[in-house]
């Protein structure tokens, strides 16, 4: 935890001393919102000085109710981002890459190195989840009301009780397979889509059996995204370009031209229903196209142009409203720190915690005794008429 907390605090103090504004995109990572599918963007984290914004969740009942995952935990806004407050303080510790509201809006799930947590009736409670579930890369709702999928540090996990407990999905993927992307189509039937060792795989039976869906795709993909305008449409990014499928990945075709720079790592994809306007977030920032991907421009204006952009999140009610997150620290470094934090927390057994608490208490008592001894020495020197240092 100290490795993530201290750098952020030092960075905030240094930047504050330079007089940087909370809306200065050149100085901080943060959260940004567009209401016109990426044509214009405004800062949505007023008052925050963020080292790394990782993801955001939008309440399906109230679009002004937001949960923001950061490298130091979760923030909550009930004013559409005009004001924020820390949430689950002392519980959700470290990088929260995965935060989601459930379909009813009355429940939410978040995961960080300190564990998986479920929010209900205004309270966060720990979920029963195996160690490999944290830190989590993504959380997605399933077709059934209480079904939730969680992509953890080592494997895919599922919950049948709205996130109160999770179990490892016992599928036929190799034990050493690395899953780095997750999307769940829920209409007309549930299909889990995952990036496994860079290749697209699909499961129609809750993760028990998987089939490749790679026809026409490059060998390795960066990201996948479902399209809310069409239940069978799926977008993918790889080899510096965007790919489209209208049958949930059974067949693919490329879209427009390649992105301007080679080696671009895409993190998020969004398109309008006609597939003429595109927004993609990358490790080089954000690109947009208004001509079906035939030309791309780097988005500037209110957005940081030299920071890494993370996943794109769509408002569940208004698909033209997008949220983008940016980080001062490379996301790979934030993820590495989260892994280290999770390992440290896993090794912190009750005996170790008790020992640490006893050591801190000993330091406090020793400090108090030292202060009393120094005060007594000053009093005795003063009574003897000797100079008091």
pTM: 0.83
| pLDDT tens track for 285-327 | 999 999 999 999 999 989 998 899 999 999 999 999 999 999 9
**For 216-270, how does the pLDDT look when each residue is reduced to its tens digit (9 = 90+)?**
999 999 999 999 999 999 999 999 999 999 999 999 999 999 999 999 999 999 9
Question: What local confidence, expressed as pLDDT, does residue 119 receive?
Answer: 98
Average pLDDT, the chain: 88
CATH number of 2-348: 2.130.10.10
Residue 351 has pLDDT above 90, yes or no: no
Give the model's pLDDT for residue 24.
53
- Integer Cα distance of 211 and 231 in angstroms: 19
How far is the C-alpha of 71 from the C-alpha of 331, rounded, in Å?
10
Q: Which residue has the tokens 């190799």?
A: 174
pLDDT confidence of residue 363: 57
Digit-coded pLDDT (tens) for 7-47? 443 334 333 333 334 445 556 789 999 999 999 999 999 88
């Amino acid at each position: 935890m100290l490795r993530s907390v201290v750098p952020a605090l030092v960075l905030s103090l240094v930047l504050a001393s330079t007089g940087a504004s909370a809306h200065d995109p050149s100085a901080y990572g943060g959260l940004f919102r567009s209401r016109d599918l990426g044509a214009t963007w405004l800062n949505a984290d007023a008052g925050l000085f963020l080292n790394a914004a990782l993801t955001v969740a939008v309440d399906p009942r109230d679009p002004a109710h937001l949960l923001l995952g950061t490298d130091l935990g979760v923030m909550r806004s009930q004013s559409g981002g005009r004001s924020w407050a820390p949430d689950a303080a002392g519980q959700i510790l470290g990088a929260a890459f995965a935060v989601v509201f459930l379909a009813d809006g009355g429940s939410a799930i978040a995961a960080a190195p300190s564990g998986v947590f479920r929010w209900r009736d205004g309270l966060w409670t720990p979920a029963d989840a195996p160690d490999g579930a944290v830190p989590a890369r993504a959380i997605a709702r399933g077709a059934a009301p209480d079904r939730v999928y969680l992509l953890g540090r080592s494997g895919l996990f599922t919950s049948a009780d709205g996130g109160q407990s999770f179990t490892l999905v016992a599928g036929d993927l190799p034990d050493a397979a690395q899953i780095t992307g997750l999307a769940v189509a829920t209409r007309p039937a549930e299909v889990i889509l995952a990036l496994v060792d860079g290749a697209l795989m699909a499961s129609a039976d809750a993760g028990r059996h998987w089939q490749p869906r790679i026809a026409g795709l490059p060998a390795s993909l960066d990201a996948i995204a479902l399209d809310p305008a069409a239940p069978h449409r799926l977008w993918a990014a790889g080899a510096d370009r965007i790919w489209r499928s209208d049958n949930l990945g059974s067949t693919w075709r490329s879209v427009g031209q390649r992105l301007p720079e080679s080696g671009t790592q895409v993190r998020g994809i969004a398109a309008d229903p006609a597939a003429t306007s595109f927004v993609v977030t990358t490790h080089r920032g954000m690109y947009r196209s208004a001509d079906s991907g035939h030309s791309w421009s780097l988005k500037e204006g209110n957005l940081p142009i030299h920071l890494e952009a993370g996943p794109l999140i769509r408002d569940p009610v208004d698909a033209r409203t997008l949220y983008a997150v940016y980080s001062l620290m490379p996301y790979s470094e934030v993820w590495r720190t989260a892994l280290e934090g999770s390992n440290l927390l896993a090794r912190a057994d009750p005996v170790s915690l008790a020992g640490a608490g006893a050591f801190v208490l000993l330091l406090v008592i020793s400090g108090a005794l030292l202060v009393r001894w120094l005060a007594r020495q000053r009093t005795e020197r003063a009574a003897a008429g000797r100079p008091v240092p």
